[in-house]
A and B are shown apart, each in its own frame.
Chain A
Amino acid sequence: MNEFLKKLMNAAKAEGIEACEAYIVERDSFRAMVTDGDVTEYNTNATKGLGFRGMKDGKMGYSSTEAFDDNAVEQLVRGVVESAELSEDDDPVFLYDGNTETPKLDLTNDELYNLDPYEKIARVQAMEKAIKAYDERIDKAARNMIQTGRYTIRIINSYGMDRSFTEDSCVMYGQATAKQEGHIATGFFGRGGRSFELLDAQLIGSEVAKSAVEKLGAEQIPSGRYRVIIHRDAMVDLLETFSGIFSAETAQKGLSLLKGRLGETIAAECVTIIDDPLLLDGLDARPFDAEGVPSKAHTVVENGVFKTFLHNLKTAHKDGVETTGNASKAGYASSVHVSPSNFFIRGGHKSFEELLTEMDTGVVITEVSGLHAGANPVSGDFSLLSKGYMVQNGKREKAVEQITVAGNFYDLLKNARAMADDMAFPLGSMGSPSIDVGELSISGC
């Protein structure tokens, strides 16, 4: 690879590229799927990809490859030149010089990396057994999955920066259907992290089964306005969908209604939102961002007041501020954008049960579906197929299905009444507590 990079950098220079950078992702991954004890799918792979960008006449050009022959060098350089020449984006662009220390984060786990694949498979099989043993109404547990992977990200540029980090991760999840008098319900639960011990077969299996069985006998409720608590597991999906409104890139394009509102109160006082790439609990921990800028935590919303957008070098320069280290790439081939790292709404001090008691009568939403369609990040509007349960006199009552919950994310932040103390990162880099969001519209029968 070093030989290839040398050739690439030299060829770029010869073609008049003023500064350039390679972003290399190497991935070593394993995935197995188990149905009825059988390993129906077993995947194991090692791949690498390289994204290349360079500046010519002050414009940034992009190209990428998965092949590493001499043709690739030519294709990458030609791609960058053509791309930079065509670009009409005259906002200043930057490569980072890398003259800074990056924080030390230990994201590797050799034990996990070297684990025998059949030990991993045995863990999924045990989880599947736990699902079936949980309740006799469990009908099927199929396509249960474990994934482990190691990936390395390296950024090297013509300013002399050459930094990399390696991360191990694992995730296991199960799905089941439960049946009762012709009614079918499905359950799903998963857990991920950087240690195999986190993948507790008994615990995950029970949660999968519980999430299916609890939905049996669910009914529609009449359409109307209801008091609503959004459970943590559904709230993280909403937060992820609308997290783009905090990006300076989105705002500079005029696609975020937070544009021009820094320092204003945009949410209820109980709302504090933090982006923390150094937090090991979230699966997006990293010592530096996609431009090589060292990671740092930022409070985005503090007690309802909007403190900062998330930035990369380009958006920060445009707004006259420092980058927050939130440059991101959707993959090695992508251009540089802005996105959150470990992004979470801070938990409160009340237990979930206290929230129920305070609400007295209403609906708890535990699951929302179809966010790519039913939620519009540009307007903030959402109308989502949801599941949950009724609460009466502060107590959990019958399960609810076939309803939509509709509202607007900006309004939801303003109307939030209380946060539970159950903040966690259920399956990734988004964290939230369960939130009492006041009133929302529900469509049912």
Chain B
Amino acid sequence: MINPILAQEALNLALSTGGDFAEIFLEDRRNNTLVLQNDRLETVNSGRIHGAGIRVYVGLNAVYTYTNDTDREGMLRCAKKAAQAVRDQKEGLVKAKPFYTPAMETVHTFRQLPSQTAAKQKADILRAANAAARSVSNEISQAVCTYTDSEQDVLICNSEGLFVTDRRVYTRMACTAVASSGMENQSGSENPGAMMGYELFLDRVDPAYYGAKAAKTAVTMLHAPQCPSGVMPVAIDNGFGGVIFHEACGHSLEATSVAFGMSEFCGKLGQQIAAPCVTAIDDGTLPNEWGSEHVDDEGTPTTKLVLIENGVLKNYMIDRLNGKRMNMAPTGSGRRQSYAFAPTSRMRNTYIAAGNDDNEEIISSMGNGLYAAKMGGGSVNPATGEFNFAVQEGYLVKDGKIASPVRGASLIGKGADVLMKIDRVGKDMKMAQGMCGSMSGSVPTNVGEPMIRVSAITVGGRA
């Protein structure tokens, strides 16, 4: 993607005004999007993202420049711009070291690349999802089915001599089904994907299953009364339910917040921050998972990182620059949406590990409360730990029995508080896919958990 001699020249130019570390991130990415709605394939769009970002550190401060012109002139212009942005310019003493490429085991492999798959085949996935969604009920008034894939080639090299490349291939489908009574609309969504090629649909994902699942949620919610308000116990099912950990705790363990003292978990390593039944892991090494990579976007190999072990805080997720701020080693967590973003610490595949409780007992011993079968998205303020997320499909529990579906519920609380109130962790851990937005843009992340229960949480409803 770039001649190493030119890369050396650009790094040295970037360092010429006193920088002490320089890095090049080069990206070439091909995207495809297909959208089927109104029972017909309406949009087929393809694109190519191409550019490079150059970063220079001066102490704990960083300069970042990026460009689409990755030929010799463009790269040197970009490097020069970075050098010129360094404030107290002095003679550059640091020089780029000769390149080396560390040996790396190939963990993530791809069998059928999107670029070698006919668009007709991709459209078939959408047709299957759409047909299945529509066949669930005649109350389904619309299904919007989207197929996306991308092949991303990255090259990362830096003035310490690192020179690595990585290929990430992503494939995903989404189905949003709408059920309508004419007066009211309710929707349900499913969005399965993986870091895989088209083999996703041969190995893991049956589009008809997910199309039907989205439609069933929409129909169930159309006939559900409003969720009541108040504080109650809540059981959250596996899969996307793991978004509770992602929001309530995950973001607050990213160096992005911790390094600036803007997290409620600052200075708490080694302390009990969650109930003893909680062990949480962030793992970027799982083969072909949605949030996996061989190396992060700074070229550091990804890791399996235990964040919380039996309730005790063990690790933060750390990128290179914030690692310097915190005086801690990077954990392979430096990620970015594209060359147009400087990297920062981000989650990868983050989940609460399986525990010892039976799902039946979790429900039967909860008395009156809420069973969240399917979660929507959420957000968090890491400084205070205040989080919120939506329940896409919820059921009222009465006397330990699932009674009736309810709509419109959201869950709120403070991370530190809710982690301590987890009183059950089931055995069947499952992950689900999301796009996580933060300082360095939108990146693919998995959330996951077995069924868990929180003994008391504020449920926002309307009844």
Contacts and interface: CB of A to CB of B under 8 A. Distances in A.
Contact of A379 (B87, B186, B340, B458): B186
Interface stretch (A129-137, A166-174, A402-410, A430-438): A402-410
A38 B262 contact: no
Interface in B153-181: 178, 180
A18 interface: no
A5 interface: no
A328 to B, nearest CB: 15
B65 A44 contact: yes
Contacts of B68: 47-49, 66-68
Interface in B9-45: 31, 34, 37-38, 40-45
B136 interface: no
Contact of B50 (A66, A184, A383): A66
Contact of B461 (A90, A117, A443): A443
Contacts of A255: 142, 178, 185
B85 A42 contact: yes
A253 B264 contact: no
B437 to A, nearest CB: 9
- Is chain B's binding surface mostly helix, strand, loop or mixed? strand
A369 B462 CA distance: 17
A42 B57 CA distance: 10
Given A66-B68, A404-B410, A406-B462, A376 B42 contact: no
B187 A378 contact: yes
B381 A186 contact: yes
B383 interface: yes
B67 interface: yes
A378 B64 contact: no
A62 B45 CA distance: 5
Nearest to A185: B384
Contacts of B180: 254
A197 interface: no
B60 interface: yes
Given A370-B388, A370-B389, A89 B42 contact: yes
Nearest to B231: A445
Interface string A33-77: 001001111111111110000000000011111111000100100
B459 A379 contact: no
Given A86-B120, A143-B260, A186-B381, A404 B412 contact: yes
B4 interface: no
A82 B45 CA distance: 9
Given A47-B51, A64-B48, A255-B142, A142 B262 contact: yes
Interface in A77-118: 79, 82-83, 86-90, 117-118
A86 B119 contact: yes
B230 interface: yes
Contacts of B336: none
Contacts, number: 236
Interface in B41-67: 41-51, 60-67
A383 B62 contact: no
Given A254-B142, A402-B413, A42 B187 contact: no
B98 interface: no
A62 B231 CA distance: 50
A443 B229 contact: yes
A369 B381 contact: yes
A373 B377 contact: yes
B379 A402 contact: no
A88 B41 contact: yes
A442 B389 contact: no
Residue picked from A46, A61, A72, A442, most chain B C-beta under 10 Å = A46
Nearest to A139: B261
A110 B66 CA distance: 23
Interface string B428-460: 000000000000000000000000000000111
Interface string A145-156: 000000000000
A220 B223 CA distance: 31
Contacts of B144: 253
A384 interface: yes
B260 A142 contact: yes
Nearest to B43: A335
A333 B390 contact: no
B46 A44 contact: no
B87 A406 contact: no
Complex A-B, nearest 9 residue pairs according to Cβ-Cβ distance, in ascending order: A404-B460, A385-B388, A443-B229, A373-B377, A64-B47, A83-B44, A88-B40, A370-B388, A383-B410
14 contacts: A35-B260, A42-B62, A43-B64, A45-B65, A64-B46, A67-B48, A87-B41, A87-B43, A87-B44, A186-B383, A333-B45, A374-B460, A403-B460, A441-B463
Interface of A: 35, 38-49, 61-68, 72, 75, 79, 82-83, 86-90, 117-118, 140, 142-143, 177, 184-186, 220, 223-224, 253-255, 257, 333-335, 369-370, 372-374, 376, 378-381, 383-385, 401-407, 441-445
